[in-house]
Each structure stands twice: as C-alpha cells, then as structure tokens.
Structure 1
Amino acid sequence: MVFLALRHLLARKKQTALIMLGIFIGTAGYVVISSMILGVQDFMRDSIIENDAHIRISAREEPVTPESIRTELFDANEFVRWRILPTGRRGHAHIQHAQGWFDRLQANPDVLAYTPNLITQVIFRRGSTTHSGTLIGTDPIRQVRITAIEDNIIEGSFLDIGHSGNRIVLGDGLLEKLGARVTETVLISVGKGEPEPFKIVGTFHIGIPQFDDTMAYGALGDVQKINRTPSRITDIAVRLVHPENAGNIAATWKSIAVERIRTWEDINEQILSAFKVQDAMRYIVTVAILIVAAFGIYNVLTIVITQKQREISILRSIGFDSGDILRLFLFQGWLMGAVGGLLGLGAGFLLCIYLGSVQFYPENVAMKGYLPFSFDPSIYLVGFCLAFSAAVIASILPARHASRLTPIDILRQGME
C-alpha cells in the first residue's frame, strides 16, 4: 500500500512538490505568525500583571442627585421642589473605611501585598512645555511589593520618592515629552490649583505606552498635599499569590463592599479584547493558505486517478476491494499533508529562533528591541492538525471516486 502510494506521488514529482510546498508554507506561516502574536500577547499580559495591581479597590464616584441633596439639607417631612435639578459629582471620591480594608487584606491568605494609593490627573509643566498625565501617590516600600517598578527603573531609584521633599519618578516617555532629565524639577498642578515643584529622582521603562508616556509616582503624603486631600486615598492596590484567581476573589469582595472592585482583566479589557481579534486573524490567514493547498491536493489526486485508471482496474482484478482503493488514495493525501506539515513546523521553529535573535528596534524600546516569540507546544500541535486536516478533507472526494470504479466501468470509459 505504501509502495503504491509513493509510486503514484513520485510519478508526478513537480505537482506533488508544489502541493507539499503550499502545505509547507501554510504551516510555517501559521507557526511564525502564531508564535509572534502569542509572544507579544504573553509579554503584554506579563507586563500588565507585573506592573499593575491584580485587584484594585477604588472609591466609587458619588454623583450629586436631588434625593441625596434633599436628605442632607432638608428634613424628611419637608416638601422640596427643584427649579433646576442638581447634577454633578462630589468634590473628591475617596475610600471612607480604608482601615477596615487593610485589616481584611492583612488576614487574607490569598493576598500577597497591598498598598494605599491616591491617583489623580495632573498637568506637568517644564518651561513652556506642558503635558497631562497621571500622578500616583503611594508608599514606595509597599509599592515595590505590588509591582515590578523597581526592576524597571533605568535611572535613579524608586525608593527615593520616600525621602523628604516633593520627589517623583516619571515614565521615560513622559520625561522625553517634557524635555526633562533626572535631577531636574518640574511643576505639577491639580485642576486650577497652584503648581508645586517636584524633583525628578528617577525614570522607568515598562514597554507599554499607557504606563511610560503618562504615569508618574510620588510619595503618598506629597500627592495628598498637592491634591488638597490630606489622609485620603482613592485606591488600594492588591497583589495576589495567584493572579489567575483575581476574578473569583473580586467577585467575593464585590458582594460585601460598597467600593468599586476591578481585576487586572477588567482594567485592561480593551487590550485583552484586541488579543481575541488577533487570534481570529491568524487563524483566518492560515486557513486561507491551507484551503489553497487543499485544492491543490484535490486536483493532483483527481489527475492521478484519471491517469491511473488502468492500474486501478488491475488492482481490482487481483483482489483489491473498494476499501483498499479508498485507503490507497486517502493515504496519498495524508502523506502529502503529514510531510508538508512536519517540514513546515521545523522551518517555522527555526525561523522563530532566527527572528527572535534579531534586534529590530533600539534597546530602549519595548522588549529591548527584540520581537518576543512563544514556543508553546500547542502552536505546533494545532499547526500540524490544520495541515493534516486540510489534506484529509481534500483527499476524501477523489479517493471515494476511485473506490467506486470497477474494471467494467474503466473498460467502458476506455472504449468510449
């Protein structure tokens, strides 16, 4: 059976080679595209997990409503009629019972660390250059247990923000936009308040623009002072022992809390949604390539069956039944799919290793200038299954047609 299948395929070497080349390219392309996309996704996911809280407990926005104003300013039996309904938001949202949360988190075995934060939107100014951004007030000693910020410092020290005086650490993208350097001073203002000078004591690079281009850290007390909210916090950043359990833990906390509870997946929902689109696109591209290869297999087997009708007749005459003929031509398709798929996997693997060693961008860009590639075994398993499945499906119709041919049918076609 194997000998006959190989003989049929080798009888038309060019066509067989071209079809296997199509499967080879499709499989190798799937491996490279999938490895690169999953590598970038893993890098982004790891960066998010390592550089932000796994769960963030935030103060809820308190909108001003007619009912809330009536309750605070009037007696229950007084009738109140509004000419203009009051709207808006209360001055500063903050966590009102922070100590209760601290006690709860301290006693929770799933919590690795936590720290209070005051997060506010500010304007950074250096000379005539201004830029908006996010200023996070934190306890630096606790913060380094929540995120990998200290590991991402490229100049200075994160812990220096804890020293006396207004000190901040900026993302390198924000530092560049301001045209500033470490040891220089920038002015920071909140809303319409007077700007306060802050000394830059360090800069960090995470590799994600939403962090590097807009974010700065300062000591909690300094940020509370510039925000005019002494002793208040807006968030509690929590790091878990197992980040994958964030959803279940957050769901439990939501049932007993008035604060807003968000996991790292909730906060980065748009990024994670983009991952799903990328996954869909890589499958669409690969399937399109393999469909072309599958049509090639179909055409080759159809031509082989047409040209080998005399041999099929002889095989049927010496005892081959329809099942044997079916398996003979199915095996030819399987063989092309298996060999082309395996060669494609090997080529894709080697190409990923090579591309992963090439520095495409400057070292200070995300991922140190190198493209990240994932070598997850599932990529290669799925790639081979796609290639082999395309070959199997493409072989079914020609093989069934060949199995239905009888010596009498072949003789009749020859006489015609």
Structure 2
Amino acid sequence: MFFLAIRQLISRPQQTFLTFFGILLGTAGYVVFSGMMLGFQEYITDQLVNNDAQIRISPRDEVLKEESFDGVFFPDSFVHWIKPPSGKTDSTQLTNVKGWFLKLDLDERVEAYAPQLNRQLIFKFGKQTLPAKLYGIDPVRQMKVTTIGNYVEEGNLKDLDRGGDVIFAGAGLIERLGAEAGDIIQVVSTNGKISNVKVEGVIRIGNRMIDESSVYASIRTVQRLTQANGIISEIVVRLKDVSMAADVATEWSFLTRDKVQSWDQAYESILSVFKTQNIVRNTTTFTIILVVAFGIYNVLNMVVNHKKKEIAILRSLGFDENDTIRLFIIQGLLLGLLGALLGLLVGAVACYWLDGYPIGGKSTKGPMMTNVMKISWDYGIYIQAFCLSVITSGIAAYIPARSASKLSPVEIIRGSA
C-alpha cells in the first residue's frame, strides 16, 4: 500500500512538488507569522507585568453626585439641592497606608510590595526647563516588585537611600536637559519652591516616553522636596501568581474606597489589540492552509482521473473501498508530513534570522530595547503548525479518496473500451 502510494505520487512529479512546496510554505509562514506576532505580544506583556506593578493601589478620583453625600447630613433629613453637586474629588494620597501594609503582609498571595510618592514637577538645568514625573520609591522594595534595577545605566539604585537630595533620571530627560551624571539640577515644586538635587545615576527603560519624563528619588527626598511629610500616594504590588492579579484586585476593591487595579485591567485596551492580532493571524493562516488544501485535492483528484485503470485492476485483485481510501489518504498524509517537517525547519531558520533584527533607529547613547524584532520560541507554535498542516492534508485527501473508492471496475473497463 505504501509503495503504491509513493509510486502514484512520483508518476506526476511536477504537481506533487508544487503541492509539497505549498505545504512547506504554508507551515513555514505560520511559524514565522505566529513567532513575530506572539513575540511582540510577549515583549509588551513582559514590559507591562514586570516593569510596572501587577496591582496598583492609588487614591480614587470620584465624580461628585447627589448620592456622594448620602449619610453626610442628619439621618432622615431631606436635602434639596438648588444646584446639584458637580466636579470630582482629587485626592493625592492613600487614607489608610498602615492598614494596607498590614493586609499585604498577611496575604500569602503577595510576593512583595513597595510604597511610592509620585509628583509632577519642573526640572531645570541651565536654560533648559522640562516637566517630568518624580517617583519617590524605596529602592530595595521597588526592585522586588519591578525590574527597574535592570535598566540602571549609570550608578547603583540603592544609593538613593544613602541620604542627601539625589535622583536617578531617565536617560531621555537628561539628554534633553543637556546634563549628565554628577550634575546639579533644579527642581521646582507646585508651590514654587526651588531645590537643588544631584543626578546620581541614569535609568534607560528603552521606552522613549518613559525615559523622557521619569525621575526617581527616595520617598524621604520627595516628601522633603514637596513638603508632603508622611504621605504615600501609591502602593505597587507583585503577586506570586500573576494570573490571579485581576481576581485579587477585584477582591481588594470591595474592601476599600481606594482604587485597586491590576495590570490587565489597566491595559485592557492593549490586550484587546492582542486579541485582534490573533484573529488576523489565525485568519491569514487559515487562508494559506486552505489554498494548500485545494492544491492537495487537485493533485489527488487528477491522480484518480489518470489512474482509473490501475484502480480498476487493484479492485479486481481484491482491493475494497476502504483499501482505496487508505491508498489516497496515505498520499495526502505523506505530502502533509514531509511538507510540515521541512516547513518547521525552514520556519525555525527564518525565525532565528529575524530574532533581534533591527527595525528602527538607534538612540544617541546605548541601544533602545524596542528597535529590534522580537520572536516567540514557544513550542506550541510548532506543534500547532505541524498538526494543522498534517490534518488539513488528510482531510483534503479524503474527498478524492472517497470518489476513487466508489469507482466500479466494470464501468472503468467499459468506459475505456
């Protein structure tokens, strides 16, 4: 049976090769296309999960309505509003920081947490003046929650705790100010107070928007610069299992008036783009495989038409309908199996060549992290590509196989007489 299947495929080498080549390209295309798109998604997800908080606890901005004042006035009193309340509360600090610390210490799902005090300030050096966000952090705790320590280009982030008014500035901000590590720059707070701080180090995340608008200092330094003694504006949390972030954030939000948001809730719009990308990827792949399936069908259908006499002889020698079906399905699976295996190899080589391929410009100092191609090496891509090619080949071979199995030896001989 196996020998007959190979012999019939070899008898039409051009059609067989084109079909085999189509399967190869379809499989390789699936691997490369999926590797590129999933690699990009993995990179962005890693940036969102590890470079930022998995759960962020911050003050809630509440839109004022009549219901917001329920319970404020005397019980059972009727309040008539001449002008309904409007606007929103603008809180800049957490109301129960010690309570949150106690809860997070006792929650076994929490791996680490870190307090922050964030303020929008003005930074001046020489004639240059730029706005930026000053993050007051506990460097030791912060490096347990996020991967900020991996992006320190100059200095040691733990030096923020040595005392003195020192900062670690984003690389883009320093370049735009024209300063460098060791320089003294001025900080202007919201009340007009001007303070001098020393640039102790430089941080380069690789995201231009972040690098040009972020400055890091110790919490005590930010509290002193902004006259906000004892104030904490946010708590960032890292869980032992990141997949539980949304459920944990929802659970905590019922226990407080503060805003508790997980990373996937905060970046829901980005994740929806990923879903759209997956739909496009699967649709494109399905189209490619469908074209390949038609190629297999056409080749085997021509084999059936040109090999009717051989089929009649085989049926006369004792081949039944099932044997005939198996003969053509073996041909389809052979094409699918060999094409899929070689397609996986070609796809892997192409992915290896594309991984790290430069796709953007270079920064003035050091490489940017987002200007190279990111490829996913998830083994699931290769399993899916192989199964999809082989299964499609088998299904495409079954239709002409059924047609061949219904041929009657007597009618074939009469038709050729």
TM-score, normalization: structure 2? 0.88
Shift of the 120–150 alpha-carbon distance from structure 1 to 2, 3 Å rule, reads: same
* Residue 403 (1) aligns with residue 405 (2): yes
SS at match of 1:246: helix
Instruction: Tell whether the 8 Å contact from 1:56 to 1:237 is kept in structure 2 after alignment.
Output: yes
Q: Deviations over 1:47-74 (max 9, x none)?
A: 33322222211111144445657976x7
Q: How many residue pairs get matched? A: 413
Instruction: Tell whether the 8 Å contact from 1:70 to 1:80 is kept in structure 2 after alignment.
Output: no
Instruction: Tell whether the 8 Å contact from 1:153 to 1:203 is kept in structure 2 after alignment.
Output: yes
Distance 1:228 1:88 in 2: 26
Partner of 2:337: 338
Partner of 1:138: 137
* Residue 243 (1) aligns with residue 245 (2): no
The answer for unaligned runs of 5 or more in structure 1 is none
Distance 2:259 2:403 in 1: 65
Query: Aligned-residue CA RMSD in angstroms?
Result: 2.8
Distance 1:375 1:228 in 2: 50
SS at match of 1:348: helix
1:128 Cα deviation (Å)?
5.4
SS at match of 2:167: strand
Distance 1:68 1:297 in 2: 68
State the one-letter code of the partner of 2:367. Answer: N
TM-score, normalization: structure 1? 0.89
Partner of 1:199: 198
Instruction: Tell whether the 8 Å contact from 1:57 to 1:260 is kept in structure 2 after alignment.
Output: yes
1:103 Cα deviation (Å)?
1.4
State the one-letter code of the partner of 1:270. Answer: S
1:322 Cα deviation (Å)?
1.4
Partner of 2:377: 375
Partner of 2:303: 304
Counterparts in 2 of 1:257-336, with a 5 A limit?
257-336=256-335
Partner of 1:60: 60
The answer for unaligned runs of 5 or more in structure 2 is none
1:339 Cα deviation (Å)?
0.8
Distance 2:68 2:305 in 1: 85
Partner of 2:368: 365
State the one-letter code of the partner of 1:381. Answer: I
Q: Deviations over 1:346-372 (max 9, x none)?
A: 1112222233365566561116x6533
Q: Deviations over 1:244-301 (max 9, x none)?
A: 3323333332332222211222223233222222222222222222211111111111
User: In terms of mean alpha carbon deviation, does 77-86 or 32-41 score higher?
Assistant: 77-86
Instruction: Tell whether the 8 Å contact from 2:41 to 2:274 is kept in structure 1 after alignment.
Output: yes
Instruction: Tell whether the 8 Å contact from 1:64 to 1:87 is kept in structure 2 after alignment.
Output: yes
Partner of 1:160: 159
Distance 1:261 1:286 in 2: 39
1:6 Cα deviation (Å)?
0.6
Partner of 2:390: 388
User: In terms of mean alpha carbon deviation, does 109-118 or 97-106 score higher?
Assistant: 109-118
Distance 1:322 1:184 in 2: 86
Instruction: Tell whether the 8 Å contact from 2:60 to 2:91 is kept in structure 1 after alignment.
Output: no
Partner of 1:10: 10
Instruction: Tell whether the 8 Å contact from 1:123 to 1:130 is kept in structure 2 after alignment.
Output: yes
Identity of aligned residues (%): 38
* Residue 30 (1) aligns with residue 33 (2): no
Q: Deviations over 1:354-392 (max 9, x none)?
A: 33365566561116x653332222111100111112212
